[in-house]
Structure 1
Amino acid sequence: MKRALFLYSSREGQTKKILNYIKEGLCDFDCELVDLHSIDSIDMDQYDRVLIGASIRYGHLNKKLYQFIQNNIEQLSDNPKVAFFCVNLTARKEDQGKDTPEGSAYIQKFLQKSPWKPELIGVFAGALYYPRYGFFDKMMIKLIMTLTGGETDTSKEVEYTNWKKVSVFAQKFKEL
């Protein structure tokens, strides 16, 4: 059986949820999920595919992602079997192209900062979990959502992830 490694950097769990969804569609792969924050390096040659998913928080990817890339740049560079996706709330604006690598300011910033340039990149909308946030996060996210025309009712949980789009990405990943 083929092996796939799924590495994730997630604050609220939506990135991991997306990876679990992709895992369900990869029936002919034995998939291993690993929290990117728990490792520094890994032997990617053990895997037929590697997928790295990371979420945006207050406009930034976690610095641990960049450290991991730096520590593993030789394995990542020019490796066609490794893909990346980013989860953020701005990607909910599909009509504005914010859910594409070209239209995502976060992906463009990532590509400028990172020495790794993955061939396959996905951008997915995340989820709002207002009731689960502490006071500060709840108020900051509400302010951001007010400014960007999003949900501001702090009693709600809203999932913006386009699962059909995730399925299309999963198929491309499988075919790498």
Structure 2
Amino acid sequence: MSDKIGLIYATVDGQTLKISNKLKEVLQEHNQNLELFSIDDFNKEITSFDKLILGSSIRYGIHNEKMIEFINKNKSKLDTIKTAFFSVNLVARKSEKNQPHTNPYVVKFFKNIDWEPTIVEVFAGKLDYKKYKFIDRIMIQFIMWMTKGPTNPNTEIEYTNWNQVDEFGKILIKL
């Protein structure tokens, strides 16, 4: 019998959900029992899972507040099972910032939170200016300008490395 696995995601524009669905697909291909939840809809008992995977997007340099709240509130329960955390952010599009120990947002996240998951991963997200509200678009263009990224308002680039997502899914099976 396979482990009971939960995956809780927090997304703004949908890329973290897309990655979560791909992870679910990979695990199910390997006969793993995975339930997928939005951070807004999770109402299960954490300890009813053998493994819990948490995935969060970044907005303006900060992981989703509800995810941070969830981790802080449930740290003692999370520490009793195997856990994984993945971050989805555009900084990870750069090869020198696409590892958990080199991604500034992931490093900052774990400096400010009292939790150590069993495994951590970081994925590059998707840039889609047409999807953003006006203020978000302007702010993200400014951030991209500062980091020498694309600023054309028609830009739509999916930076996510899907082979990396597949590999992470396979690692989660062995967790």
TM over 0.5: yes
Q: Deviations over 1:27-61 (max 9, x none)?
A: 2123221111334x631232232110001100101
C-alpha distance in structure 2 between counterparts of 1:137 and 1:36, whole Å: 22
Q: Deviations over 1:1-52 (max 9, x none)?
A: 533211011100100100100111112123221111334x631232232110
CA contact (8 A) 2:15 2:126 kept: yes
% identity of equivalent residues = 40
C-alpha distance in structure 2 between counterparts of 1:74 and 1:42, whole Å: 16
* Letter of the structure 2 residue corresponding to residue 5 of structure 1: G
C-alpha distance in structure 2 between counterparts of 1:72 and 1:123, whole Å: 22
Q: Give yes or no for the alignment of 1:58 onto 2:60.
A: yes
Map of 2:19 onto structure 1:
18
Map of 2:87 onto structure 1:
86
- Aligned pair count? 172
Give 5+ residue unaligned stretches, structure 2.
none
* Letter of the structure 1 residue corresponding to residue 33 of structure 2: D
The alignment's C-alpha RMSD in Å is 1.4
Map of 1:32 onto structure 2:
35
Shift of 1:78: 5.3
**TM-score of the pair, normalised by structure 2:** 0.92
C-alpha distance in structure 1 between counterparts of 2:17 and 2:25, whole Å: 12
CA contact (8 A) 2:56 2:67 kept: yes
C-alpha distance in structure 2 between counterparts of 1:171 and 1:72, whole Å: 26
Q: Give yes or no for the alignment of 1:70 onto 2:69.
A: no
Match of 2:46 among 14, 33, 44: 44
**TM-score of the pair, normalised by structure 1:** 0.91
Provide the secondary structure at the position in 2 that maps to 1:145. Answer: helix
